[in-house]
Structure 1
């Protein structure tokens, strides 16, 4: 009788979510549009250029990406068990999401008050606030994906994510273009302060729509996997296919290290301005949006492994274009190739991990293991690249990047297998 009651309750909840599906989808998509419109204005490219106006140390510049990546990726593994215990996700998401957004207001105010008078102290604050943003983003990401996969019926999730991804990509393009206009007409560093405050405003608008999502308490207990940590060692030892995938991905991450300094190298080599740096971000967003369409076709016609292999090869001419950079055109070629190639990995990495997972019940462990183990590499490789550029030079760093990309491609092509 108890099981019948639980089944009836689940059925009633599913029906209610189906009734509210359009409402939830519209609110979540609108939330995403305003959020990415804001973060598109203050992209990693723009912030990297901003940091370079305070220091010439590539190691210090690379630390910004390192800190952010580390705090965004690694905590997710440890947040997940606490999220699983919650009956509702939205209250925690609203609380953490508010602090995630307030960071930008504090960053904007400190830019107006401290950037010129106390540059060293301000730079420390910039890293601190951006680190906080990454930490709150990490927790919010787990809560958000749990909320959305709960309130959007399973059969409609693929279409929902497709529409949301496309519109958010367009919003990022618009945001980066708006930032370039501010850089053009407003003097430094006031322009950055204005951008940070606008980001806060846009993110608070997104907060309103995110708060509107309709959610019911989860009545059925969630079963948590036992021995999850012990599975890490078991998977790495027993599954050679996953191990090869992991090593291949690490090699590609090392190969992409040079792209963390794409805008800095262009500044040194070509003397680009803040406005041009913002246009670089726009170029990346445009090429990624085009890439999502192309790789979707490849994934459908072939598989995710094919798109990852093809995208790996595209990183090579992107790096060569940087090596040969002697005018702004070569910079844009490099940017376009990188954005196009990166979009395949953005949209296909987790799906490829699921595809190579041998057992259905192990998929959460495989995805969680991938994100946890690769998080430190995403974080520290830009820092190591900055150190390499300081010790040697950019050209040697870029040539090393090509070698790592080739190694990653060979491992993925010949050693990672997909069962038919």
Structure 2
């Protein structure tokens, strides 16, 4: 091992716990803050209460993710050339968090006199915040890959999600009380204020991260935007692991056909008002904590594929259960399972995505993955809307979700665990 490699390892070890803790707290505060505006429970109901159309309701669970995906390819080639990426992430983080305060003010001040403007501002908030975050997403991933060693990344993601889920459990109680005591725009404005406070606390935690240098020997070929975009078809043709990963991820988006209307359907079946959404959020976050504990252990020890596999099995079962269940307890269990499985899968998929990428092209790989997923996410939302309008129920949506989740196993079982591949090559 060269002296440069030894110096790099020593630097990562020197700041490991500081960075591990700061990274975990930052993510936990951000995720926990967003639980006050949960995309698959609170946001669809809020948009519905503000008079939003069915297609907009269907977009709510994924609209922030769409924002994240849109701009990544525009900056990936630049990120590959950066030695220090944290300043870029800090700058865009300001614009990622500011819209939530603007939405709170709109709900407080404009909802009564300008309802359509308020609806537009509230619906655009996660999209605008997502775009700001997406500009530096590949830089953020590059930062995490530098400061957190491979065999600690799964647990780092899991700890982030556990902190976020713990805050989310408290958020569930806040949602119940706020929407019960302040129904309508005023209550949703208060939830935006709660979310905004946690998002800015997460910014302070991120500022405490100490960026380390790139590992020696990783030299990215300078490329312009056009040249980088032209290289993408070759990446897809030449990397079968990437194709299998994309197939698995795209089919997994089928869950988004059913999820946007699950909370609305559950409230209708059980006869509860919007305040009962807090119970669903609490159950979902409780499941998330347990799912993350398992994902962190499995991911650090075995890699990301196993957590994804377990999560997919549970999501497939959940899609079937949503159709046959009619009880209040059953829906709480469904949301618990949703949190458990989604967080389990998120940890595994994030770990897989980082580890299957070549180090010198990781920003471009991550941006390309997002670029492929984006139109498929929109398609899932469109299908969800059409099914909802055409049937008014959840059975067909759940069946489509289950079918696509089942298809995802075709790609998942063929995807090789990157750690096993590297170990075999080394031996």
TM-score using structure 1 length: 0.83
State which of 28, 33, 36 in structure 2 corresponds to 1:41: 36
How far the C-alpha of 1:262 sits from its partner, in A, is 1.1
**More off after superposition, 106-115 vs 286-295:** 286-295
State which of 168, 186, 196 in structure 1 corresponds to 2:192: 196
Matched residue count: 412
**More off after superposition, 319-328 vs 146-155:** 146-155
Matches within 5 A, 1:4-403: 18-44=13-39, 45-55=41-51, 57-151=53-147, 160-215=156-211, 223-225=219-221, 228-239=228-239, 242-296=242-296, 298=298, 304-352=304-352, 366-394=365-393, 395-403=395-403
Task: Report Cα offsets for 1:21-78 as digits up to 9, x if no partner.
Answer: 4444444444334333322212212112111112363212113345322211232232
Task: Report Cα offsets for 1:287-308 as digits up to 9, x if no partner.
Answer: 1221223345555776644443
How far the C-alpha of 1:312 sits from its partner, in A, is 2.3
In structure 1, distance between residues paired with 2:7 and 2:416: 42
**More off after superposition, 270-279 vs 361-370:** 361-370
Partner SS state of residue 116, structure 1: coil
User: Is the contact between residue 176 and residue 276 of structure 2 (CA under 8 Å) also seen in structure 1?
Assistant: yes
Larger-Rg structure: 1
User: Is the contact between residue 21 and residue 151 of structure 1 (CA under 8 Å) also seen in structure 2?
Assistant: yes
How far the C-alpha of 1:328 sits from its partner, in A, is 1.2
In structure 1, distance between residues paired with 2:146 and 2:12: 9
In structure 1, distance between residues paired with 2:71 and 2:356: 25
In structure 2, distance between residues paired with 1:417 and 1:83: 28
In structure 1, distance between residues paired with 2:78 and 2:362: 19
CA separation of 1:211 and 1:234: change in aligned 2, threshold 3 A: closer
User: Is the contact between residue 321 and residue 331 of structure 1 (CA under 8 Å) also seen in structure 2?
Assistant: no
In structure 2, distance between residues paired with 1:121 and 1:110: 8
TM-score using structure 2 length: 0.82
User: Is the contact between residue 58 and residue 390 of structure 1 (CA under 8 Å) also seen in structure 2?
Assistant: yes
In structure 2, distance between residues paired with 1:213 and 1:355: 22
Aligned alpha-carbon RMSD (Å): 3.5
In structure 1, distance between residues paired with 2:215 and 2:356: 33
User: Is the contact between residue 356 and residue 417 of structure 1 (CA under 8 Å) also seen in structure 2?
Assistant: no
How far the C-alpha of 1:241 sits from its partner, in A, is 5.6
Task: Report Cα offsets for 1:92-130 as digits up to 9, x if no partner.
Answer: 333221222221111111000112332222111112222
- Where does the alignment leave 5 or more consecutive residues of structure 2 unmatched? none
Task: Report Cα offsets for 1:356-415 as digits up to 9, x if no partner.
Answer: 77x8877766554333211322244123211221123332222222222222234534x5
**More off after superposition, 228-237 vs 149-158:** 149-158
User: Is the contact between residue 317 and residue 334 of structure 1 (CA under 8 Å) also seen in structure 2?
Assistant: no
- Where does the alignment leave 5 or more consecutive residues of structure 1 unmatched? none
